[in-house]
Structure 1
């Protein structure tokens, strides 16, 4: 005859605890990834313009910030 495994309540409770720990870890990972996505810096587009194009953009208020490095704007 085949031997039937003997499961008791203590064995089943241990499996349930591991399942709960896994669920809490999964929820923690999801929460951290959602929160971190809000705090990542937004990507800033950079493009090269001629000086006259730059002045046109300034005149129509499309320039919010300018960084001057040596002889470059």
Structure 2
């Protein structure tokens, strides 16, 4: 992450999400064990939009639309 500093990018690991495929989640957790980066294989929001598994995206959209209706 320090390479980004040379270009004016200062990442905040506690606000960052690493979205990986389920089969590499355990390995990824080992590689990034000494960081505060959040990891998931399910899904997360990116600029307010859901990305990830079909189930995650569907649930996110359903919950968002339910809030609009109520």
**Same fold per TM (> 0.5)?**
no
Q: Which interval holds the TM-score relative to the shorter structure?
A: under 0.3
TM-score by length of 2: 0.25
Higher strand share: 2
Please say which structure displays the higher CA radius of gyration.
Answer: 1
Higher relative contact order (CA 8 A, sep 6+): 2
Structure-1-length-normalised TM-score = 0.24
